[in-house]
Amino acid sequence: MKDVFIVNPNSGRESQYHLMTEIKDHFQGKRIIIEKTKSPGHAVHIAQKYALNSSEPVHIFVCGGDGTLHEVVNGIAGCKHISLSIIPIGTGNDFIKSFGDYQKDDFLDLSKYDEPVEQKCDLLKINGEYAINTVSFGFDVNVAKHVNHFRDKIPVGGIIPYYVGMLASLSKPLTQEYKIQIDDKKYPNDKYTFVVFCNGKYYGGGYKPCPDALIDDGKIDVCMIRNVKRSQIVGLAKKYEKGLHVQYTDIVEMRRGQAIHMDTDNKDVDVNLDGEIRSMKNPTVEIVPGAIQLLLPRK
């Protein structure tokens, strides 16, 4: 088995220093490969190199945040000879929060990957691109856009960019109109504030749109929140953080399915895939069961 570290050198500079020291200590005398990304999108190509060029088993450690994880997943989806471990040195690292039995430090401890726990993981596929955690439309996409914009200007870590993004988004319209079809069921045209499709449970720096989502159930969990008023958003956000919004059945609808179509009237809409923003019209989201072999740290 070949061990390959794909590292975003811009992610968590302090944790990165510790990680490099730990890699040297832990793998002393063993052959490992460290691949540092050079630009956004590069991690896809690095991962593809190992996915396509050989059938020798490869253990990829993705070292970064959810953005780097998203890229690596897009390079290796469906490749049976690649296993993936996540070393969360990014800012939000929302995907690993779905593993409730683990703390972040467990993922950072390289000695815990000597006898790892195998875990199959589904992926979401939307118009040809994969997402491992969430795909979403609406208010949170505006927030994510502002978060990315703010981080480009002021390199502040932690939760601050998410709060700034939230405040900036409150000045924009809070709803968009969509026609949604989940498997065979069509939902009437309606105004939605959030539409979130989940494989993992958390996104956006710790919000919990689909508290019951499982990464290996072959299903997409769906959270649709209709027409929230500006005066309701802060109260709702507090509940949303804990996954308690599901109680508001007058505005919140929770569903589960395998294929979802969004009719956007042929207009381009912004979509958030694991924190990366894309623009698409009439997208279809499907589940791809067991597309990734995860190796989790030993418990």
Ligand X SMILES: Nc1ncnc2c1ncn2[C@@H]1O[C@H](COP(=O)(O)OP(=O)(O)OP(=O)(O)O)[C@@H](O)[C@H]1O
Site residues (vs ligand X, CB under 6 A):
8-11, 37-42, 64-68, 71, 90-93, 275-276
Q: By C-beta, is 68 or 136 nearer to ligand X?
A: 68
* Alpha-carbon distances, residue 135 vs 123, 125, 148 (angstroms): 11, 9, 16
**In the block, residue with structure tokens 């990734």:** 292
Instruction: For residue 73, give the nearest of 132, 128, 113, 33 by alpha carbon.
Output: 132
Q: By C-beta, is 122 or 274 nearer to ligand X?
A: 274
* Alpha-carbon distances, residue 202 vs 19, 155, 207 (angstroms): 25, 23, 5
CB 5 to ligand X: min, Å: 13
Strand locations in 139-246 (E): 176-182, 185-198, 220-226
CB 125 to ligand X: min, Å: 19
Residues near 88 by Cβ (< 8 Å), separated by ≥ 6?
Answer: 65, 96, 104, 107, 108
| Residue 231: Cβ within 10 Å count | 7
Please name every residue paired with 67 in a beta bridge, in sequence order, or none if there are none: none
Instruction: For residue 295, give the nearest of 125, 110, 141 by alpha carbon.
Output: 110
Q: Which two tokens stand for residue 88?
A: 């969360």
Q: How far apart are CA 201 and CA 151, in angstroms?
A: 24
CB 272 to ligand X: min, Å: 11
CB 274 to ligand X: min, Å: 8
Q: Which H or E element spans position 165?
A: helix 160-169
Q: By C-beta, is 71 or 253 nearer to ligand X?
A: 71
CB 8 to ligand X: min, Å: 4
Q: What is residue 98's DSSP assignment?
A: G
CB 284 to ligand X: min, Å: 24
Q: By C-beta, is 159 or 244 nearer to ligand X?
A: 159
Q: By C-beta, is 168 or 259 nearer to ligand X?
A: 168
Q: Which H or E element spans position 232?
A: helix 230-242
Q: By C-beta, is 108 or 174 nearer to ligand X?
A: 108
Tell me the residue nearest to ligand X as measured from the CB: 65
CB 132 to ligand X: min, Å: 12
Hey, what's the torsion of the CAs at 262, 267, 272, 278, to 10 degrees?
130
Q: By C-beta, is 200 or 257 nearer to ligand X?
A: 200
Q: By C-beta, is 203 or 240 nearer to ligand X?
A: 203
Please name every residue paired with 280 in a beta bridge, in sequence order, or none if there are none: 269
CB 168 to ligand X: min, Å: 17
